[in-house]
């Protein structure tokens, strides 16, 4: 079950490659889904060395489970992911409460190895599995006039220690412009490293928008709403000066309190040199056209 993403992983021996590929095939086979090459431009498919599964699942931001990087790994086991359903509403032809399988069943699950850049200036490379958000939106039928997609994370106060502490206004909410949501790079991830996505990483389904700061990639989604107005987003509501709606990775626009020109690579070791941050996190060729004519310092 070769695809272009895995073929490129010539140096990706963090997890022994044979074991990883086998596991992927078993998982893909058991649910009857194949990993099929994405029709993406070549520079989105360059070889990237993923972080280890351990790094990806033990250094997280998921404020519903606490603000420390290791809090989600400690606390997220309490998240109840059974009987998951997603409420789809707003400007769609087929609104309703969808069981996860109704929403994504039968869709092509692909592996996407993406750079992941947090607004806090750290980064990882993560091998996700998921479906294109565009496929989901096409399934529910986007009505003409819709311009934005709003997302909402589950709230389980009894299971989420951070919700009890009210560090943010929960539920965590996020949004994309419709053309950003429809871009083939935008996925809804259900797996990591060929395994179902861990709870601390946003089980059972989370958004991944690789050219935007990580906080746009909202976890454990229970709501998707199509609107004609820019929806509120959690970090923008908490601090509009520091966190804009767009939040595209941009080394030339600093956060008011720190530079965004470089990033610390998780797993690189304490004394590793920082690496330069890339425009649109390295996905400029695929997405720069979305922002033609916009002042990226103004629409940050
Ligand atoms: N989604 C929810 N619901 N709650 C959060 O606190 N944190 C965001 C984003 N999605 C967050 C969230 C931030 S700041 C980042 S950097 C990424 O999740 C981290 O994703 P990861 O833990 O899978 O690396």
For the chain (300 residues), the mean pLDDT of every run of 10, in chain order, is 36 40 39 40 73 97 97 98 97 98 96 97 97 98 98 98 92 98 98 96 98 98 98 97 98 97 92 93 97 96
Longest Cα–Cα distance in the chain: 53
In this prediction, residue 4 carries a pLDDT of 35
CA 192 – CA 4 distance, rounded (Å): 17
CA 281 – CA 212 distance, rounded (Å): 7
- Using the mean position of ligand 1's atoms as its centre, give its distance from the Cα of residue 220 in Å: 10
DSSP sequence for the chain: ---HHHHT-TT--SS-HHHHHHHHHHHHHHTT---------GGGG----PPPHHHHHHS---GGG-SSTTHHHHHGGG---TT-EEEEEESBSS-EEEEHHHHHTTSPPEEEEEEEE-TTSEEEEEEEEEEEHHHHHHHH-BPTT--EEEEEE---TTT-HHHHHTSS-SSPEEEEEHHHHHSTT-EEEEEETTEEPPTTTTTT-EEE-TTB-GGGS--SEEEEEEESSPPP-HHHHH-TTT--SS-B--TTS-BTTB--SEEEETTS-TTPPPEEPPGGGGTHHHHGGGGTT--TTT--
In this prediction, residue 43 carries a pLDDT of 61
Q: Residue 213: CB within 6 Å of ligand 1?
A: no
In this prediction, residue 45 carries a pLDDT of 61
Q: Residue 172: CB within 6 Å of ligand 1?
A: yes
In this prediction, residue 25 carries a pLDDT of 39
- Using the mean position of ligand 1's atoms as its centre, give its distance from the Cα of residue 145 in Å: 30
pLDDT digits (tens, 9 = 90+) for 160-202: 999 988 889 999 999 999 999 999 999 999 999 999 999 999 9
Question: Which residues lie closer than 8 Å to 178 by C-beta, 6 or more apart?
Answer: 142, 146, 147, 148, 149, 226
Q: Which atom of ligand 1 is nearest to the CA of 59?
A: 22
Q: Residue 153: CB within 6 Å of ligand 1?
A: yes
In this prediction, residue 40 carries a pLDDT of 58
In this prediction, residue 270 carries a pLDDT of 80
- Which residue minimizes the CA distance to atom 4 of ligand 1? 62
**Reported pTM:** 0.88
In this prediction, residue 44 carries a pLDDT of 64
Q: Are 138 and 197 in contact (CB under 8 A)?
A: no
Around 23, how many Cα atoms within 13 Å sit in the side-chain half-sphere? 14
Other CB atoms within a 10 A radius of the CB of residue 83 amount to: 7
Q: Residue 61: CB within 6 Å of ligand 1?
A: yes
Question: Which residues lie closer than 8 Å to 172 by C-beta, 6 or more apart?
Answer: 63, 64, 152, 153, 218, 219, 234
Q: Which atom of ligand 1 is nearest to the CA of 213?
A: 16
Name the nearest CA neighbour of 128 among 19, 72, 203.
203
pLDDT digits (tens, 9 = 90+) for 227-271: 999 999 999 999 999 999 999 999 999 999 999 999 999 998 888
Q: Residue 129: CB within 6 Å of ligand 1?
A: no
């Amino acid at each position: 079950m070769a695809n272009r993403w895995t073929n490129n992983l010539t140096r990706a021996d963090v997890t022994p490659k044979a074991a990883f590929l086998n596991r992927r095939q078993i998982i893909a086979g058991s649910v009857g889904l194949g990993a099929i090459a994405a029709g993406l431009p070549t520079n989105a498919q360059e070889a990237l060395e993923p972080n280890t599964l351990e790094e990806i699942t033990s250094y997280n931001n998921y404020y519903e489970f606490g603000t420390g990087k290791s809090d989600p790994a400690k606390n997220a086991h309490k998240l109840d992911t059974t009987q998951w359903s997603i409420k789809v509403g707003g400007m769609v032809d087929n609104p309703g409460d969808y069981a996860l399988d109704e929403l994504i069943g039968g869709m092509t699950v692909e592996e996407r190895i993406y750079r992941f850049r947090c607004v806090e200036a750290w980064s990882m490379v993560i091998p996700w599995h998921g479906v294109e958000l565009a496929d989901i939106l096409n399934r529910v039928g986007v009505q003409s006039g819709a311009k934005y997609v709003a997302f909402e994370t589950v709230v389980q106060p009894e299971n989420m220690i951070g919700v009890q502490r009210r560090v943010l206004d929960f539920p965590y909410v996020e949004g994309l412009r419709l053309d950003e949501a429809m871009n083939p790079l935008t996925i809804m991830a259900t797996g990591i490293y060929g395994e179902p996505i861990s709870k601390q990483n946003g089980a059972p389904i989370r958004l991944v928008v690789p050219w935007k700061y990580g906080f746009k990639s909202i976890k454990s989604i229970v709501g998707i709403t199509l609107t004609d107005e820019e929806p509120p987003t959690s970090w923008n509501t908490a601090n509009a000066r520091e966190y804009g709606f767009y939040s595209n990775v941009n080394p030339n626009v600093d956060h008011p309190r720190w530079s965004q020109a470089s990033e610390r690579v998780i797993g690189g070791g304490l004394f590793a040199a920082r690496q330069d941050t890339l425009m649109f996190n390295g996905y400029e060729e695929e997405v720069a056209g979305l922002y033609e004519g916009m002042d990226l310092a103004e629409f940050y």
